Amino acid sequence: MPSSVMPTSSRGDGRQSTLAVSTIGLRKSYGDKTVLDGIDLRIPTGSVFALLGPNGAGKTTAVKILSTLITADGGQAQVAGHDLAADPQAVRAAIGVTGQFFAVDGLITGEENMLLMADLHHLSRARGRRVTAQLLERFDLVEAAKKPAASYSGGMKRRLDIAMTLVGDPRIIFLDEPTTGLDPRSRHNMWQIIRELVADGVTVFLTTQYLEEADELADRIAVLHDGRIAAEGSAEELKRIVPGGHVRLRFTDPAAYRAALAALGEVTRDDEALALQIPSDGSQRELRSVLDRLDTTGIEADELTVHTPDLDDVFFALTGDATVPHQPKENVR
């Protein structure tokens, strides 16, 4: 596809970057429930974009719309330079999707799943076999290739799922919660796979519940809440919009705790834990000032921790649910 058909984004420095995904006012409702209430996205080609949001926020709905599995009720979207409504076939040819809805057939082997995919993409038999062999090798599935996919572990199934997506050589990949349910090692393996895709120039659109994952992988992150993008930016930019940085001092001696409380003034107290929280940007200068104030009174804390805002703080601040970090999963998808 000629790159001239891709929509471009002016970066202010005179250079233009092509957009892999752009949407304006994307809307979707189920009955009287508005799931997406006007979503604007601009995702540069070759970047990693993470869509964050609590359960039921509409992440999968957004992925399904952008990958042509369902249609939006309103708004416009272009994916890989093609209008979603006018030319869904062209969009489909340029993208790959793996997600909460697996494509893997458990009854046949991993290799057969791959060859089936090659057939769907109209590859010749020889080319289908070659691509399958390469991808099985790349995703460390050679040993398991002749076993039924149902016998694979969660991590192996995810790898097979991504390998199947890559058979069509997509330029844009949608990954809906690619690491949910994976153990830490498999999660890190998946991150490595995603980084390699990006190094190959693939644009990755991922949804995740893990803020650490977005922090680790994404160039840009958007937080979906109440049908809208509540905030968008790099991980660093998002962290800057929330307060939450503090120094926490814990004492074992109640007298020392009370003395520190008197010495420090403006603090948040936790009488039960004998802990004090002092707002701080985490800089050495602020830390020293706290310690200096303690030193003048000769009080020593038993434990000192510095907390800088992380994406969890951003998430809870924006989605307004500081007390319930994990809502139960809904079954409706």
Ligand X SMILES: Nc1ncnc2c1ncn2[C@@H]1O[C@H](COP(=O)(O)OP(=O)(O)OP(=O)(O)O)[C@@H](O)[C@H]1O
Q: Does 227 bind ligand X (CB under 6 A)?
A: no
| DSSP code string of 10-69 | E-SSS-EEEEEEEEEEEEEEETTEEEEEEEEEEEETT-EEEEE--TTSSHHHHHHHHTTS
CB of 220 to ligand X, least distance (A): 18
CB 194 within 8 A of CB 48: yes
Find, among 36, 98, 326, 310, the residue nearest to 209 by Cα.
326
Nearest approach in angstroms of CB 328 to ligand X is: 9
CB of 333 to ligand X, least distance (A): 5
State yes or no: residue 61 binds ligand X (CB under 6 A): yes
| 304 SS3 class | strand
Q: Which of 60, 78, 109, 280 binds Mg ion (CB under 5 A)?
A: 60
Q: Which is nearer to ligand X, 188 or 333 (CB)?
A: 333
When the beta carbons of 22 and 60 are compared against Mg ion, the nearer one is 60
Return the residue of 19, 59, 94, 168 that touches ligand X, per CB under 6 A. Answer: 59
95-134 residues in contact with ligand X (CB under 6 A) are 100
Q: Taking contact as CB under 6 A, which single stretch among the options 14-22, 55-63, 116-124, 193-201 is the one that binds ligand X?
A: 55-63
Q: For ligand X, which is the closer residue by CB, 125 or 329?
A: 329
201: left (phi over 0), alpha (psi -120 to 50) or beta: left
Among 246, 252, 243, 251, CA closest to 290: 246
Interface pattern 301-330 for ligand X (x via CB under 6 A): ----------------------------xx
Count of residues touching ligand X (by CB under 6 A): 15
To Mg ion, the closest distance from the beta carbon of 54 in angstroms equals: 10
Q: Does 89 bind ligand X (CB under 6 A)?
A: no
| Closer CB to ligand X, 282 or 320, in the complex | 320
CB 84 within 8 A of CB 98: no
Among 55, 134, 297, 305, binds ligand X (CB under 6 A): 55
The one of ligand X, Mg ion, none whose footprint includes residue 35, by CB under 5 to 8 A per kind, is: ligand X
Write the binding mask 15 to 54 for ligand X: x where contact by CB under 6 A, - elsewhere.
---------------x----x-----------------x-
CA distance 189 to 167: 20
Q: Structure tokens of 241?
A: 């919009």
Q: Tell whether residue 148 is a contact of ligand X (CB under 6 A).
A: no
Smallest separation, CB 66 to ligand X (Å)? 12
CA distances from 287 to 239, 281, 283, 290, 291 (A): 19, 9, 6, 5, 6
Q: Where are the alpha helices (DSSP H) in 153-246?
A: 154-166, 184-199, 211-217, 235-240
- The Cα 275–Cα 164 span in angstroms is 52
Q: What is the CA radius of gyration of the chain?
A: 24
**Could you say whether residue 288 binds ligand X (CB under 6 A)?**
no
Residue 98, interface with Mg ion (CB under 5 A)? no
Whether 205 contacts 175, CB under 8 Å: yes
Closest residue to Mg ion, Cβ-based?
A: 60
Least Å from the CB of residue 329 to ligand X = 5
Could you give the dihedral angle defined by the CA atoms of residues 325, 328, 331 and 333, in that order, rounded to the nearest 10 degrees?
A: -10
H or E segment at 132? helix 125-138
Least gap, CB of 69 to ligand X (angstroms): 11
Binding of residue 75 to ligand X (CB under 6 A): no
The residues binding Mg ion (CB under 5 A) are: 59-60
The residues binding ligand X (CB under 6 A) are: 30, 35, 53, 55-61, 100, 329-330, 332-333
